[in-house]
Amino acid sequence: MQDRSTARPSLEPSLDRRTLLAGAGATATLAALGFSPAALAQQGLKLGVAEAFGFEGLKARARDLASRPYQAPPSPRADVLERIDYDAHGKIKFKPEMALWANGPSPWPVTFFHLGRYFQKPVRMHVLDAGQAREIVYDESYFEMPADSPARELPTGAGFAGFRFQESRSGHPGRKGEKLDWQKNDWVAFLGASYFRAIGELYQYGLSARGLAIDPAVAGKPEEFPDFTHIWLETPQPGAEYVVVYALLSGPSVAGAYRFRMHRGKGVTMEIEKALYLRKDIERLCISPLTSMYWYSETAKSTAVDWRPEVHDSDGLALWTGAGERAWRPLNNPHRTTASAFMDENPRGFGLLQRDREVGHYLDGVFYERRPSLWVETQGDWGKGAVQLIEIPTDDEIHDNIVAMWVPSTPAKAGASFEFRYKLHWLADEPFPPALGRVVATRLGNGGQPGTVRPRGVRKFMVEFLGPALETIPFGVKPEVVLSTSRGTFSYVFAEAVPDDVPGHWRAQFDLTVEGNEPVEMRCFMRGGDKVLTETWLYQYLPF
């Protein structure tokens, strides 16, 4: 189980200046405007020597790295880093005036995270301009820290733990329309192994994405966490609407090259290209892994386990298959680690979503109702494989216990290589919602009919659907409930409109009779005649 971590003077060039900045004269113009390496150095950042850089060259570097034995990034003064615990780390603050591009040209300045007990592997940061990269050399003068902070004992050049993009210096409008202070607000953060996060349109961090996951929940094998060891931040042109970041990934079993193009709009969109080169055989190679937290929801909750009605960053896995089926799998907090596989070919997308946005369903001050949903939009040919979902038991909200990812069918053998392209959408909802009725609630109870003796070993399920397709049902007509199960029998099956006067709000009700403690896989959807009216509800019932 992975512990959870950790959230412009206006430069809008005129048309003439935009024209001037285009093409071969762009680099010279940036220098003239004060954005040259010399200007950055005068600002206070210490830069290394220039080296040629390009994405194809980065791929070649990763390929060469994978052909040699793995060497972990050296940790500077591990004895010092151990003393930078949670409290000590929280007192170390990056100085906003030292931010990369604090004075432009990017609307989004970059600040850096300090190393510490929980982030001991240094990440080498570089600024990239016109195909030339220079390392940003760590110095304690970039940070505010107490006089007795252990961090003062680290040498110059020790490295950083990660970085983040601050909000626009011109002030991105917040949830309530106020302009956000770029010095206090950020929208993307890379910190720890290959983890990164972004805020959604509701201005809240939540679940994380990863560059790669290797062998999570594989029996008898520890999970491997490869690291982004080097980062290159491409200097944008004035007025740019996106930022570009390159990363080198390395771990005992793999090396990889990544390109991120990130756009701050309604939420955050990331276009990602990556090339992977395997050092060793990998049993479960996880592409575009998403990591979240699910403790409990309205579906199932132990009595008095916590005072809040629900606690989760995500409440379900959404699927859009290559064949076009839309499906929803509510999350579980199981008694033992479980892995579910949804076989597919060239999936259109998948994501961990937070569909429940009711403030009254959480009732605390950490804003679970505002946590972003994260959707993976596949691009190109992903071939055969499976969206896999791993659910790990947890008894608290401090642990990420949910992982969803694509696992290719192609064997991940030493010497093999893989390339993938995809988009990540950090939003309140999935970016391509269907007109079908969507699952909005899953409820469990004792089986049988009210007013009668309830039979033992029978569970009742109420699955609520809501959506435009259900609004077309004629008055007096009920949709058909279509069910299937891996084992057990159904009874007392019917559909009814939810009595709340909300158009298109229906529920399917049914009882399941099953013996034994093994998990039960169920499917349910509604149709009218030969027309599918809802997405498919998938559920893993744990009868023990």
User: What was the pLDDT predicted at 304?
Assistant: 83
Residue 74 pLDDT class (50, 70, 90 cuts) = confident
The encoded tokens of residue 468 equal 């435009």
pLDDT given at position 412: 97
Q: How far is CA 529 from CA 258, 437, 480, 533, in A?
A: 48, 16, 8, 10
DSSP H or E stretch at residue 276: strand 268-278
Amino acid 36: pLDDT? 63
User: In this model, does residue 28 exceed pLDDT 70?
Assistant: no
The pLDDT confidence band at residue 288, using thresholds 50, 70 and 90, is very high
Alpha carbons 220 and 234: distance in angstroms, whole number: 41
User: How high is the pLDDT of residue 39?
Assistant: 63
**Which residues are within 8 A (CB) of 15 and not within 5 positions of it... i.e. 6 or more apart?**
none
What are phi and psi for residue 384, nearest 5 degrees?
A: -90, 150
What does the pLDDT look like over 505-535, one tens digit per residue? 999 999 999 999 899 999 999 999 999 999 9
Question: How far apart, in whole angstroms, are the C-alpha atoms of residue 232 and residue 162?
Answer: 12
Q: How confident is the model at residue 237 (pLDDT cuts 50, 70, 90)?
A: confident
Q: Which of 2-11, 37-46, 206-215 has the lowest mean pLDDT?
A: 2-11
Sign (positive or negative) of CA dihedral 143, 148, 151, 156: positive
Which residues, 6 or more positions from 502, have their beta carbon under 8 angstroms from its beta carbon? 466
Q: What is the mean pLDDT of residues 249-277?
A: 97
Question: For the ranges 29-33, 139-143, 358-362, 468-472, which has the lowest average pLDDT?
Answer: 29-33
Is residue 428's pLDDT more than 80?
yes
CA proximity to 165, closest of 258, 86, 263, 247? 263
- The answer to whether 212 and 248 have CB atoms below 8 angstroms apart is no
CA 47 and chain centroid, separation: 31
Beta carbons of 95 and 144 less than 8 angstroms apart: yes
DSSP state of 368: G
Q: How many CB atoms lie within 10 A of CB 131?
A: 12
Q: What are residue 359's phi and psi, to 5 degrees?
A: -55, -40
**Residue 13 — very low, low, confident or very high, per pLDDT cuts 50/70/90?**
very low
Residue 5 has pLDDT above 70, yes or no: no
pTM of the model: 0.91
Q: Where do the H-state alpha helices sit in 354-492?
A: none
59-63 own/partner pairs: CB under 8 Å, 24+ apart: 59/257, 59/275, 61/248, 61/257, 62/248, 62/249, 62/250, 62/255, 62/256, 62/257, 62/275, 62/276, 62/277, 63/255, 63/275, 63/277, 63/417
pLDDT confidence of residue 80: 95
Distance of CA 334 to the CA centre of its chain: 22
- The mean pLDDT value for 238-254 works out to 94
Instruction: Please give the full DSSP string across 261-275, using - where no structure is assigned.
Output: EEEESSSEEEEEEEE
Six token digits for residue 259:
């390109």
Strands 520-528, 505-513: parallel, antiparallel or unpaired by DSSP? Answer: unpaired
Residue in 233, 35, 256, 44 with CA at minimum distance from that of residue 124:
233
| Per-residue confidence (pLDDT) for residue 41, from 0 to 100 | 62
pLDDT tops 90 at residue 29: no
Q: What integer pLDDT is reported at residue 73 of this predicted model?
A: 85
**Token pair listed for 206:** 């939540």
For residue 488, what pLDDT band results from cuts at 50, 70 and 90?
very high
The CA-CA-CA angle for residues 341, 347, 351, to 5°, reads 70
- pLDDT score for 37: 67
And the tokens for 78?
């591990």
Question: Residues with Cβ < 8 Å from 19, sequence gap 6 or more?
Answer: none
Check: CB of residue 181 under 8 Å from CB of residue 131.
Answer: no
pLDDT of residue 156: 87
With 70 as the cut, is the pLDDT of residue 441 above it?
A: yes
Determine the residue type at 421.
R
Helix (H) or strand (E) holding 30: helix 26-32
Q: What pLDDT is attached to residue 21? A: 28
Structure tokens at 430: 């999935």
Q: Give me the pLDDT at residue 206, please.
A: 97
Which pLDDT band holds residue 179 (cuts at 50, 70, 90)? confident
Tell me how crowded residue 351 is: count the other CB atoms within 10 A of its CB: 27
